[in-house]
């Protein structure tokens, strides 16, 4: 014991280095997204070439997504809407009800998402359920499951109390509902929470919203890892109305 304590005593300077190492390792894990320092000019009304160029690229990207046969997710910040679209048609939408800083968070989120025009579409890279409602034994479902040859678990819906979507580079969307849930993995939740708190100084952009429980079920189940996401800038570019042929 004495020998161990002596060795530890000699290693004291290394221990003082530990917090530094900790910060260093976390910063390495959360690579900073490039070109964060160049926010878009925010003018209203007047023609802004850089904003027009950004919107033009996003529209082109959405057109590409809409031509594919797959679902995609649109965060429409100017209209404060979440939309799930297929072939350009809206299949599901929900108004963004911010919790917290709202528009300033949205601004930061957009800047980080597009990283100076480097990303137009990002896939969801992570989805984390902080708390869901506890599943209950349902005899009806058990009977049905037997008849249709499916696990009863699959027939039950996970009702999320709070979940998080991630796009990498510290981009996060926190969704909370009114349902009171139970944490499935409290220890893992704590670790994820601590990790995110420690990583915060190294950069993150988070939008926190509240959502109706019944709508959140669809949202939670559809937003799988890999779902392409597109974000429109918080301030919409105003275009003059198109001249109709009849007016000529």
Partner 1 sequence: MKKVWIILGIVLTLLIAGAVVVAIITRDQEPTLKQGLVISDSVLTALPSEQTAAIKELQRLKKALATLKPNRPYIVIDTQSNKVYYRTDDSLLFEAVCSTGSGGELVDSTSDRRWVFATPHGVHKVNSKLVNPWWRKPDWAFIEENEKIPDDPRDRYDSEMLGEFAMGFGNGYFLHGTIYERLLGINVTHGCVRLGSENLKWVWDRVQIGTPVYIF
List the interface residues with partner 1, window 35-94 (CB under 8 A): 47, 49, 52-53, 55-57, 59-72, 84, 86-92
Which residues 121-160 are close enough to bind partner 1 by CB under 8 A? 121-123, 125-126, 141, 144, 147-150, 154-155, 157
In sequence order, the β-bridge partners of residue 229 are 73, 122
Least distance (Å) between residue 195 CB and partner 1: 4
List phi, psi (to 5°) of 219: -60, -45
CA nearest 57: which of 67, 65, 69, 46? Answer: 65
The rounded distance, in Å, linking the Cα atoms of 220 and 177 is 11
Least distance (Å) between residue 81 CB and partner 1: 9
Least distance (Å) between residue 98 CB and partner 1: 21
Closer Cβ to partner 1, 210 or 215, answer by number: 215
Contact segment (CB under 8 A) with partner 1 among 36-44, 99-107, 174-182, 223-231 equals 223-231
Q: What are the tokens at 98?
A: 């911010």
List phi, psi (to 5°) of 101: -70, -10
In sequence order, the β-bridge partners of residue 209 are 98, 175
Least distance (Å) between residue 176 CB and partner 1: 18
The rounded distance, in Å, linking the Cα atoms of 231 and 120 is 8
Please check whether residue 127 is in contact with residue 164, taking contact to mean a CB–CB distance below 8 angstroms: yes
CA nearest 166: which of 139, 191, 192? Answer: 192
Closer Cβ to partner 1, 104 or 146, answer by number: 146
Least distance (Å) between residue 235 CB and partner 1: 15
Which residues 11-40 are close enough to bind partner 1 by CB under 8 A? 11-12, 15, 18-19, 21-22, 25-26, 29-31
Closer Cβ to partner 1, 37 or 149, answer by number: 149
Which residues 187-206 are close enough to bind partner 1 by CB under 8 A? 188, 191-192, 194-196, 198-199
Closer Cβ to partner 1, 104 or 234, answer by number: 234
Which residues 163-182 are close enough to bind partner 1 by CB under 8 A? 166-169
The residue count for binding partner 1 (CB under 8 A) is 85
The edge-to-edge listing of strands for the beta sheet with 71-76 is 89-95, 81-86, 71-76, 228-232, 121-123
In sequence order, the β-bridge partners of residue 228 are 123
Q: What are the tokens at 144?
A: 């049905």
Least distance (Å) between residue 158 CB and partner 1: 11
Residues in the chain: 248
């Amino acid at each position: 014991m004495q020998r161990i304590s002596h060795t530890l005593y000699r290693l004291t300077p290394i221990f003082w280095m530990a917090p530094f190492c900790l910060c260093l390792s976390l910063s390495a894990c959360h690579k900073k997204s490039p070109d964060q320092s160049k926010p878009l000019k925010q003018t209203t009304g007047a023609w802004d070439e850089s904003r027009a160029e950004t919107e033009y690229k996003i529209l082109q990207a959405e057109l590409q997504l809409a031509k594919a046969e797959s679902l995609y997710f649109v965060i429409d910040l100017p209209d404060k809407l979440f939309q799930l679209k297929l072939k350009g048609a809206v299949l599901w939408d929900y108004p963004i009800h911010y919790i917290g800083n709202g528009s300033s968070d949205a601004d930061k989120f957009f800047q980080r998402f597009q990283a100076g025009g480097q990303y137009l579409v990002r896939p969801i890279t992570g989805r984390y359920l902080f708390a869901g409602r506890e599943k209950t034994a349902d005899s009806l479902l058990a009977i049905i499951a037997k008849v249709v040859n499916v696990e009863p678990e699959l027939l039950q819906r996970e009702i999320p109390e709070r979940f998080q979507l991630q796009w990498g580079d510290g981009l996060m969307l926190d969704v909370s509902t009114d349902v009171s849930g139970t944490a499935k993995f409290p220890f893992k939740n704590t670790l994820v929470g601590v990790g995110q708190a420690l990583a915060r100084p190294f950069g993150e952009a988070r939008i926190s919203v509240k959502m109706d429980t019944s709508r959140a079920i669809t949202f939670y189940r559809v937003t799988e890892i890999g779902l392409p996401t597109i974000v429109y800038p918080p301030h919409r570019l105003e275009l003059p109305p198109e001249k109709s042929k009849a007016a000529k």
